[in-house]
A and B are shown apart, each in its own frame.
Chain A
Amino acid sequence: QLQLQESGPGLVKPSETLSLTCTVSGGSISSSSYYWGWIRQPPGKGLEWIGNIYYSGSTYYNPSLKSRVTISVDTSKNQFSLKVSSVTAADTAVYHCASVAAAVNAFDIWGQGTLVTVSS
């Protein structure tokens, strides 16, 4: 059974870069059966899609964040990562990584989420 776990700093200073890693277990990140995504949720608010990365290496980002976001895969570590540059307090949120089963085209397995606070 696929499992995902986010890791990274819980506190980031304004204007710096937020970096998170999602470790995948129970399956290969290189599988063509899955692709991978990031979603965030500001405290007390709804869900916001950040972006997806496909096994081909193609990436799709939310235009609201596009110029600041990078998603990449490290197949040697079975991980994928998220970087958000030039963060502000508005980037404070719980960040979730998730898998998308290609046959389902929805986020079927989620990491528990990690709270990232942007504050000096």
Chain B
Amino acid sequence: DIQMTQFPSSVSASVGDRVTITCRASQGISTWLAWYQQKPGKAPKLLIYAASSLQSGVPSRFSGSGSGTDLTLTISSLQPEDFATYYCQQANNFPWTFGQGTKVEIK
């Protein structure tokens, strides 16, 4: 199985800050990576697919980059509604696997 390690596991940030979350795969996954946002009690929401493609309706302050083993999600200017937990997920090989999550908290 491909292990997905996210870091940091949590980050405290202020509105307007730039936040970067990294997902490291235990082996190369090309660009078969998605990023999701989850708020408490809600289903995850797809933000980014294929490492860098913005899902329809997602604000442009979210962006993804990278390929291979190190991929990143960047929020360019954190907004109040962005405080949530973020997960990466690889779709290069079965079983599909998720990172453990990064909680973005208010500073």
Footprint of B on A, CB under 8 Å? 46-49, 52, 60-64, 96, 104-108, 110-113
A112 to B94, CA, bound (A): 24
Chain B interface residue number, banded = 20 to 34
Number of A-B contacts (CB under 8 A): 59
B91 CB, nearest partner CB in chain A, Å: 5
A108 to B43, CA, bound (A): 11
The SS class assigned to the B binding surface is loop
| Given contact pairs A104-B49, A108-B46, A49 touches B96 in the complex (Cβ within 8 A) | yes
B72 CB, nearest partner CB in chain A, Å: 16
| Given contact pairs A106-B49, A108-B55, A46 touches B100 in the complex (Cβ within 8 A) | yes
The SS class assigned to the A binding surface is loop
The one of B46, B49, B55, B87 that contacts A47, using a Cβ cutoff of 8 Å: B87
Residues of B close to A112: CB separation below 8 A = 42-43
Contact A63 B1 (CB under 8 A): yes
Interface positions of B from 31 to 53, Cβ below 8 Å from A: 32, 34, 36, 42-46, 49-50, 53
Contact B98 A48 (CB under 8 A): yes
Contact A47 B94 (CB under 8 A): no
